[in-house]
Structure 1
């Protein structure tokens, strides 16, 4: 096996181990074994820069510094969600929906995660841009920082569209948030106030290696594009999962509004 083949083998192994751990929650090797393989890959890539690959697992370590975050206009506006506080609201909404469509209506039920909304663009299976929601019309390009998040695929799996957008939430799970605060208190610093603001603030850190140290996760829930190959939200979630994205397991297809209420 030559050097190029060895580098590719390590990249493939680490990408799969990373997917098993952070997306499937089913680790296949120990943290120590993973770190040793990653270190070996880093050393080989440093000696052979001619084999650089922007989707390499070593990209997740971070290190690039961003002084200014470019403002990017969204191709498709990022809307906020409407609230509803009663069954009657949903029943009235269903009446309006049924006037607009022919045939039976199904609903995709999902939990609402409280984090930083993110829009990511993939081309030819590779992450090319990640932009914050901003005001819904434009946001900040935080691609370098998002690439350090372990549950964000840098290279997709399977059969995927040539180009598409996928949206989700960057969250900081409470366990990781509490651990971060314990460490801050130990060194005499003020604890962070809440996970949502901490997740959002993490994305705007200038040093991506600092972002890489934080236990951020990305949960995806919405696909956009012209040639996606499906027609419903639930199918989209299934496709996203097949391509390697972390999709909330709690999502459920409801055949009626009664099933929505049960959810």
Structure 2
């Protein structure tokens, strides 16, 4: 197979594998068996070994991560990355103006928010809080360019290699996607997966993680993406 045919086949394999990743990890279904998927992946790996110039950063083979890093690079957020403001529910409620302290805090937050918004933008959504690690992902020309932690809100750690191991995150987008855009979300570890991970660590004599968020944060701080690829982390986008 010459380079021209190899390039065409590599592009086909990219599309096929990305399609099946989307079905499996985002739509909870699959159109081919695991062995058929492995056959496609192995074919792509062989072609990239034969023609290294065809091995791109957005290849499905890069999901397993690259070589360990010596340290994280720093990335400046194009728009400041703020944290979520908490209003905790208290076990022993103290009444303030006839309302519980939690209700009072929520009312005050509502007033403050309305004062900061134009009058025609009073729309709210409510969803469960996922306790994980905030992340910003930047796409350029339909390709994932980088992923960064919040850091101090202005500058975060470049965790691109670690994020590439999370198969529910697309490496490439449809061609009609915006030319450049940033999307933010929360990387987390499901409770059941966390319990299973701690069980394995206990059996291997490793210290247990305190909670799922602690496990997620510790995972994303790993300089070796090979370790990250073995941890059961996922993402929910805001």
1:68 corresponds in structure 2 to 71
Q: Does residue 192 in structure 1 map to residue 195 in structure 2?
A: no
TM-score for the superposition, normalised by structure 1: 0.76
Deviation at 1:93, TM superposition (A): 4.4
Task: Quote the Cα distance in structure 2 between the aligned partners of 1:99 and 1:201.
Answer: 36
Unaligned runs of 5+ in 2: 90-101
Deviation at 1:55, TM superposition (A): 0.9
Residue pair 2:66, 2:161 contacting (<8 A) in 1 also: no
Task: Quote the Cα distance in structure 2 between the aligned partners of 1:32 and 1:210.
Answer: 24
1:121 corresponds in structure 2 to 138
Deviation at 1:37, TM superposition (A): 1.9
1:14 corresponds in structure 2 to 17
Q: Secondary structure at the match of 1:19?
A: helix
The verdict on how the C-alpha distance between 1:189 and 1:158 changes in structure 2, with shifts beyond 3 A counting, is same
Q: Which moved more, 1:70-79 or 1:86-95?
A: 86-95
Q: Number of paired residues?
A: 221
Q: Secondary structure at the match of 1:15?
A: helix
1:25 corresponds in structure 2 to 28
Deviation at 1:13, TM superposition (A): 1.0
Q: Secondary structure at the match of 2:125?
A: strand
Residue pair 1:98, 1:105 contacting (<8 A) in 2 also: no
1:96-245 equivalences under 5 Å are: 97=114, 100-103=117-120, 105-157=122-174, 159-221=176-238
Deviation at 1:190, TM superposition (A): 2.4
Deviation at 1:95, TM superposition (A): 4.7
Say what the alpha-carbon RMSD is for the aligned residues. Answer: 2.2
1:46 corresponds in structure 2 to 49
1:80 corresponds in structure 2 to 83
Q: Secondary structure at the match of 1:205?
A: coil
